[in-house]
């Protein structure tokens, strides 16, 4: 430690901790990294599959969340270790790209790392392992494409989409209601989907949570639901043929930007000021009304004075509309977001068939629904549930389902779940291993073992014996040449996942295998860790 002085002569202390940096090299570095990352994967392992467990996570300020969603679990775990953080990112990139399969990708990465550790112990060079995994990954992906099947998303009232949604929802807290929720998700996505371009803008599906009622009360509302009511209870409750003025400026007199003092010494001055303020409000309301608007939605608040004036002038208004709602409304109704009253013009107004206050269930609270928007259709899924924890988890689950459906609209190929696809790939990779004459052969074989880790984990989580069930499934896949044999987690009496209708998207499975391999390769390339001592 030493004392130094800066340019202004102020003293500061230099701490010398360069020498105390922790440093790990070579094999020690590989192993420590792998073990740290594996610890994360092990935590997630018990959450995989339809009988997977949930995790309860308590944030530093005491908020509790209960979830089964891999991405959410790792995000809330507050992980310190740098390599373990790579797995967090892994889960999040799966979430961003695909939306579902966030647990599976981390578990697979963990299995691969486990295999890498044994290979390192055998004395195989990390780059050879990497190479082997890479080649095996290519084989697996090719095989996935071969066993994938196209589904007809239109047939039978979109039954296939509903099934895929049910698979995604089956492992969640809300699994009891998966069919109803799955249908809601499918309708919502199809409502906003552009089927000719095979594209879905998920921003047009708003998911609104509201505690109270139960999960069965969850419903789809065609229109944008905002959790607000008219700013004054006596304003009209319904505006038909709405012309919306979307404001991001408050209904209040401008405040001086710099510090000024106003001295009021007599009643006359005070009255003058009051008149002026009134005039401001009156002008604002006039500007809005003159443009032809019949409702004002404001991102900011306004005080009682303004509120009263709005009522008097017959201009219904809503205050404190959230930023995301403002954007959604702008997108759906064609409204321009207006930041200054002077800029209000008739062309900037958004149009909607109606805006009305509605009441749900027995609660007294009201919300606003904006229906028949001019530009694009937007829908809202209103999630109900007994507690904040439930509605939050239901929201995450429905998000997964929505993503699966969107992915199927983009690419209608599926593979079957229950570990069957992984098992089929494992068998293919094993076959390929025999063709590899170099040392990579071991890595290729280990890759197959890691893939088998997924069905084995699924079996473990639902109380089956993982070794016997995987062995049985494997031998049946081989003898019957049927890549759809997996683990019968729900005890339905068949291991054929086509009969069980466990649909997973090809894009998700592909992404899982590719991302997991990538991360493992990345971890295997780190041979030197330099970190501050407190890691
Ligand atoms: P993720 O976050 O990775 O989506 P999940 O907990 O949703 O994790 O579990 C997904 C895994 O569970 C997939 O491998 C899927 O094939 C499997 N799975 C889902 N439903 C069933 C089922 N009814 N029977 C067997 N396996 C299932
Ligand atoms: Mg899932």
Ligand 2 center from residue 246 Cα (angstroms): 38
489 CB near ligand 1 (under 6 Å): yes
Cβ-based neighbour number of residue 155 at 10 Å: 10
455 CB near ligand 1 (under 6 Å): no
Q: Which ligand 1 atom is at minimum distance from the Cα of 454?
A: 14
Stretch 6-15: mean pLDDT: 76
Cβ-based neighbour number of residue 462 at 10 Å: 17
Is 42 a residue whose pLDDT tops 60? yes
Which residue has 């170099």 as its token pair?
438
Is 60 a residue whose pLDDT tops 90? no
Q: Which ligand 1 atom is at minimum distance from the Cα of 400?
A: 4
418 CB near ligand 1 (under 6 Å): yes
Buried-exposed string 324-347: b where 16+ CB fall within 10 A, e elsewhere: ebbebbbbbbbbeebeebeebeee
Residue from 171, 393, 455 to probe ligand 1 pocket by mutation (most atoms less than 8 Å from CB) = 171
Q: Which ligand 1 atom is at minimum distance from the Cα of 504?
A: 16
Is 26 a residue whose pLDDT tops 70? yes
- pLDDT classification of 268: cutoffs 50, 70, 90: confident
- pLDDT at residue 129 in the model: 92
Residues in the chain: 535
* 430/441 Cα distance (integer angstroms): 9
Is 17 a residue whose pLDDT tops 80? no
Cβ-based neighbour number of residue 356 at 10 Å: 19
What percent of the chain is modeled with pLDDT above 90? 36
Please name which of 332, 466, 381, 424 lies closest in space to residue 146, comparing C-alpha atoms: 424
Residue 235's φ and ψ, nearest 5 degrees, are -70, 160
- Give the list of residues 6+ apart from residue 533 with CB closer than 8 angstroms, or none: 17, 20, 21, 22
- pLDDT at residue 476 in the model: 92
Q: Indicate the average pLDDT of the chain.
A: 87
pLDDT digits (tens, 9 = 90+) for 248-266: 988 777 666 677 777 788 8
Output the six-digit token pair for 414. 């599926």
Cβ-based neighbour number of residue 94 at 10 Å: 25
- pLDDT at residue 15 in the model: 63
186 CB near ligand 1 (under 6 Å): no
- pLDDT classification of 20: cutoffs 50, 70, 90: low
Considering only CA atoms, which residue is closest to atom 3 of ligand 1? 101
Let me know if 518 is exposed, middle or buried by CB neighbors in 10 A (0-12, 13-18, 19+). Answer: middle
Return the active site residues: 69, 102-103, 400
Is 153 a residue whose pLDDT tops 90? no
Ligand 2 center from residue 231 Cα (angstroms): 41
Which residue would you say has higher pLDDT here, 354 or 531? 354
- Give the list of residues 6+ apart from residue 215 with CB closer than 8 angstroms, or none: 174, 176, 177, 181, 383, 384, 385, 390, 394
Considering only CA atoms, which residue is closest to atom 9 of ligand 1? 49
pLDDT digits (tens, 9 = 90+) for 428-440: 999 999 998 888 9
* 483/234 Cα distance (integer angstroms): 65
pLDDT digits (tens, 9 = 90+) for 309-352: 889 888 899 999 999 999 999 999 999 999 988 889 999 999 99
- pLDDT classification of 155: cutoffs 50, 70, 90: confident
- Give the list of residues 6+ apart from residue 251 with CB closer than 8 angstroms, or none: 281, 284, 298, 300, 301, 302, 303, 306, 310, 317, 319
Is 19 a residue whose pLDDT tops 80? no
- pLDDT at residue 264 in the model: 80
pLDDT digits (tens, 9 = 90+) for 83-127: 888 889 999 999 988 888 999 999 999 999 999 999 988 889 989
pLDDT digits (tens, 9 = 90+) for 199-247: 888 888 999 988 888 888 888 888 899 988 888 888 888 899 999 999 9
52 CB near ligand 1 (under 6 Å): yes
Is 18 a residue whose pLDDT tops 60? no
417 CB near ligand 1 (under 6 Å): yes
Ligand 1 center from residue 58 Cα (angstroms): 25
Please name which of 101, 91, 103 lies closest in space to residue 48, comparing C-alpha atoms: 103
């Amino acid at each position: 430690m030493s004392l130094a002085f800066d340019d202004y002569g102020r003293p500061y202390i230099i701490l010398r901790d360069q020498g105390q940096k922790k440093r790990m090299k070579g094999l020690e570095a590989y192993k420590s990294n792998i073990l740290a990352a594996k610890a994360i994967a092990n935590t997630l392992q018990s959450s995989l599959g339809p009988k997977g467990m949930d995790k309860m996570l308590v944030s530093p300020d005491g908020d509790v969340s209960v979830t089964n969603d891999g991405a959410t679990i790792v995000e809330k775990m507050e992980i310190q270790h740098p390599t373990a953080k790579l797995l967090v990112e892994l889960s999040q990139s799966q979430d961003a790209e695909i939306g579902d399969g966030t647990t599976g990708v981390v578990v697979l990465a963990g299995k691969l790392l486990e295999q890498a550790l044994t290979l390192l112990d055998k004395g195989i060079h990390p780059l050879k392992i990497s190479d082997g995994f890479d080649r095996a990954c290519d084989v697996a992906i090719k095989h996935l494409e071969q066993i994938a099947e196209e589904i007809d998303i239109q047939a039978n009232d979109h039954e296939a989409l509903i099934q895929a949604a049910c698979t995604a929802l089956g492992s969640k807290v809300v699994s009891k209601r998966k069919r109803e929720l799955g249908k809601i998700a499918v309708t919502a996505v199809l409502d906003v989907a552009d089927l000719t371009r095979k594209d879905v803008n998920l921003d047009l599906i708003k998911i609104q949570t509201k505690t109270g009622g139960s999960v069965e009360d969850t419903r789809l509302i065609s229109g944008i639901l905002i959790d607000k009511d008219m700013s004054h209870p006596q304003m009209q409750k319904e505006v038909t043929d709405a012309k919306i003025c979307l404001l991001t400026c408050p209904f209040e007199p401008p405040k001086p930007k710099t510090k000024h003092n106003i001295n009021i010494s007599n009643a006359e001055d005070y009255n003058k000021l009051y008149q002026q303020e009134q005039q401001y409000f009156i002008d604002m309301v006039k500007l809005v009304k003159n443009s032809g608007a019949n409702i004002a939605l404001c991102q900011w608040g306004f005080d009682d004075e303004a509120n009263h004036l709005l009522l008097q002038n017959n201009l219904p208004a809503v205050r404190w509309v959230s930023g995301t709602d403002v954007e959604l409304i702008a997108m759906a109704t064609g409204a321009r977001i207006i930041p200054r009253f002077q800029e209000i013009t008739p062309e900037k107004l958004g149009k909607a068939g109606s805006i009305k206050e509605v009441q749900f269930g027995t609660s007294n609270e009201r919300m606003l629904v904006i229906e028949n928007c001019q530009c694009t259709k937007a829908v809202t899924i209103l999630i109900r549930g007994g507690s904040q924890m439930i509605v939050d988890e239901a929201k995450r689950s429905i998000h997964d389902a929505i993503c699966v459906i969107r992915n199927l609209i983009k690419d209608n190929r599926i593979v079957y779940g229950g570990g069957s696809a992984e098992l089929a790939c494992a068998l293919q990779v094993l076959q390929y291993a025999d063709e590899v004459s170099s040392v990579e052969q071991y890595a290729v074989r280990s890759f197959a073992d890691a893939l088998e880790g997924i069905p084995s984990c699924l079996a473990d989580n639902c109380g089956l014996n993982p070794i016997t069930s995987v062995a049985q499934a494997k031998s049946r896949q081989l003898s019957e040449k049927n890549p759809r044999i997996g683990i019968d987690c729900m005890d339905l009496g068949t291991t054929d996942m086509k009969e069980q209708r466990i649909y997973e998207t090809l894009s998700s499975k592909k992404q899982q295998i590719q991302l997991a391999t990538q991360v493992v390769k990345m971890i295997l390339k780190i041979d030197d860790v330099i970190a501050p001592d407190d890691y």
